[in-house]
Amino acid sequence: MNILYYVVHPDLDHSNANRSLLRKLPLHPQLKVIDLYDRYPSFSVNAVAEKELIDWADALFFQHPLYWYSVPALLKQWFEIVLTPGYAYGKEGTALAGKRWQHIISTGGNANAYRSEGYNQYSMEELLRPLESTAGLCRCEWHEPLIHFSAKHARGEQLNAFNDQVVNTLTDLLETR
C-alpha cells in the first residue's frame, strides 16, 4: 500500500512532539513524507504536483496540531486548491474514492477538555466533523484520528507510546498488499 504522509506544522522547530514523531517514521519506498510548510512556504500550493502524489497513494495521512479546532491554515489552503470539483468530489470526481484518510493530531489541552463537560464543550469526534465530512465528500475511508492530547509537554514514555501507535499503524499498512 502506498502511503502519502503530510506533516503540516508552521513552526516545526518549536514543536517537540511533532518533531520526535517525524524522526520515528519508517524509511520505506512506499511511504512518502511531505513537509507542507517547507514545500509551500508562501502558500502557493501546486495542485498538479499534489494530484500526482494523490494518484500514486492508497492512503492519506495528515499529521498536524489542532489549531482553532481545525487544521493549520496551509492544510486548509491545500484542501481548497487540491480537492477540486470534478477531481475530488462531484460528478466524475472520484480520484480519492476508496483511499484511506486519517489525521494524526496533537493538542495542547488534555483529553478531559474535549468533553461536553470540559472547557471545549464538545467531544473531539464532534469537533472534527468538518474533517470527517471533507473525507466523506471525497468518498474516502475515514479512519478515527490518532490524537496526542497534552502534546506540548509530552516527554519520555508518553511520547514514545503515541509515536509507537502511529508507527505501528503505518508499518501494518505497509505490509498489507
Partner 1 sequence: MTTEHNYFMDALVFLGAAVVFVPVAKRAGLGSVLGYLVGGIAIGPYLLGLIEDSESILHFSEFGVVLLLFLIGLELNPGRLWGMRRQIFGLGGTQVMASAALLAAIALLFNFDWRLSLVAAFGLALSSTAIALQTLEERKLMATGAGQNGFAVLLFQDIAVIPMIALLPLLATTHAEATTTPWLQVLKAVAAIAVIILGGHFALTPILKRIASLHMREMFTAFSLALVIGIAQLMDYVGLSMALGTFLAGVLLADSEYRHELEIDIEPFKGLLMGLFFMAVGMSIDFNLLVNQLGPVVLLAVILIAVKALVLYALAWYLKMSNSDRLRFTAVLAQGGEFAFVLFSLATSTNIISLDDQSLLVLAVVISMICTPLLVNLVEYIIVKQHQNTPQPQDEIEENNGHILICGYGRYGQVIGRMLHGLGHSTTLLDSDPNQIELVRKFGFKVFFGDATRLDLLEAAGIGNARAVILTMDDQQLVTHLTGLIRKNWPSIVILARARNRQHAVDLYKAGANDISRETFSSALELGSSALNFLGMSKHNAWRAAQKFRHYDEKLLAAQFEMEGDEDTLIQLSHRSRRDLEEIYRQDQSILEENDNEWT
Q: Which residues bind partner 1 (CB under 8 A)?
A: 10-15, 37-38, 40-42, 65, 74, 108, 152
CB closer to partner 1, 75 vs 95: 75
Q: How far apart are CA 148 and CA 139, in angstroms?
A: 26
CB closer to partner 1, 42 vs 116: 42
- DSSP string over 38-99: HH-TTS---HHHHHHHHHH-SEEEEEEE-BTTB--HHHHHHHHHHS-BTTTBSTT--TTTT-
Classified as helix, coil or strand, 158 is helix
Q: How far is the CB of 108 from partner 1 (least distance, A)?
A: 6
Contact predicate 43/77, CB 8 Å:
yes
CB closer to partner 1, 54 vs 74: 74
CB closer to partner 1, 68 vs 92: 68
Q: How far is the CB of 139 from partner 1 (least distance, A)?
A: 31
Q: How far is the CB of 11 from partner 1 (least distance, A)?
A: 4
Contact predicate 162/150, CB 8 Å:
no
User: How far is it between the farthest Cα atoms of the chain?
Assistant: 48
Q: How far is the CB of 144 from partner 1 (least distance, A)?
A: 24
Q: How far is the CB of 42 from partner 1 (least distance, A)?
A: 5
CB closer to partner 1, 98 vs 108: 108
